[in-house]
Homo-oligomer: A and B are copies of this chain.
Amino acid sequence: MRTPLKGACVIGQSGGPTSVINASAYGVIRTALDNEHITAVYGAAHGIKGVLDGKLYDMQQEDASELALLLNTPSSELGSCRYKIADPDVDDTDYKRIQEIFEQYDVRYFFYNGGNDSMDTCNKISRYFAKSGYECHVMGVPKTIDNDLFGTDHCPGYGSAARYVATSLMEVYKDARVYDTGQITIVEVMGRHAGWLTASAALATHFGCGPDLIYVPEVAFDMDQFLTDVTAIYKEQGNALVAVSEGIHDKDGKLIAEYGASGEASKDAFGHAQLGGLAATLAGIVKEKTGAKVRGIELSLLQRAAAHLASQTDIDEAFLAGKTAVEAAVAGETGKMVGFERDMSSGSYVCKTVLLPLEKVANFEKKLPLEWITPAGNGITKEFIDYALPLIQGEPNRAQESSLPRFARLKKVLAK
């Protein structure tokens, strides 16, 4: 084994946050701080934007106990960005700047914590360094509530969001059928292209308190069929609960969120289309069709920020992903993303980390398998339950202050 590179490391976070992305950051930061070959640990403010701006926090300045609270602190504590970096073969301005900053701080390890787009950024930086000859190991640390990263069994962030969605749906189920007068309730879950998170609503149904109908973007949504289905259930039960992915669309690819009630977008007093998503739109259409009391609920940011309902399995794996990235990078790996491989040979859930080439991960979206969607396109099969259930296990033992969350309070001292 060759001598590990000696130098500083940078960790950045990017894309939409999750409940456990900070657990991954902590996996990187804690492991890096404890590693003899890593001379300094910097957190980039707002991902790659912080690198470009030379805005790096010195993680050595933080109290160890505050850093540990990152395990239960939602959202991206270092700040996130949605900065789209150019192709280095077309425009290498940003890359030159990144290398300049890295040289200045003697950065030899770069960890990027994000989803699809972030793995693309990571991959491009890795490619650039390979070409420029700047010696720096680049590793991707996955996160996404969408669970759509290619090549890995699942992504940190997903299990916690799935636990939130399933728990909330069970609670809403209880509430939404309390009256004798009946109600149709439509709950909108995040997921533009992949239905993984919305499918987790099926966990609630599996335990007897969940949606009657579930729609995901993997199959085209037929409005007439939906109205027929929901009306039949409403007539039979006196109520109906529906979960929909924000990205459901018709067979022509048109988003259902863009269908206005009665086919027209409702306008407000100023004459512009009402803000408000798919749940409100569908609720309007169903109300008009059925005359029933209809309520649309959008889980919105709550579903990706609900650290209080995180899955401990997810927290542990998120931390492990960060830790593994550091250990692999120090061992000489670069241009890889940490992924997970499930081993069910023992009959119970065991998961190990694997390293995946970034170019194979970047820009691919892993969809929910079509065979896990019922033939009618309005439900989820038992195969999905078996897949998802292990991922939501474990109640986090989170720090509280007066029975409210005690999140990490970092000093965020800028590196000189």
Contact = CB atoms under 8 A, between A and B. Distances in A.
Given A262-B267, A284-B270, A174 B277 contact: no
Interface in A248-300: 259-262, 266-270, 272, 274-277, 280-281, 283-285, 287-288, 294-300
Given A274-B261, A277-B276, A298-B298, A17 B400 contact: no
A261 B267 CA distance: 6
Contacts of A168: 302, 306
Given A175-B301, A407-B209, A281 B261 contact: no
Interface residues of A, number: 82
Interface stretch (A25-33, A89-97, A369-377, A388-396): A388-396
Contacts of A270: 284-285, 288
A178 B392 contact: no
A67 to B, nearest CB: 16
A204 interface: yes
A116 to B, nearest CB: 17
Given A178-B17, A274-B284, A284-B268, A389 B405 contact: no
Given A80-B179, A174-B407, A262-B268, 7 more contacts: A76-B178, A259-B269, A261-B266, A262-B267, A275-B294, A280-B280, A297-B301
Task: In the A-B complex, list the 9 residue pairs whose CB atoms are closest, starting with the nearest.
Answer: A75-B174, A260-B268, A171-B305, A276-B280, A175-B305, A46-B180, A75-B175, A297-B300, A80-B178
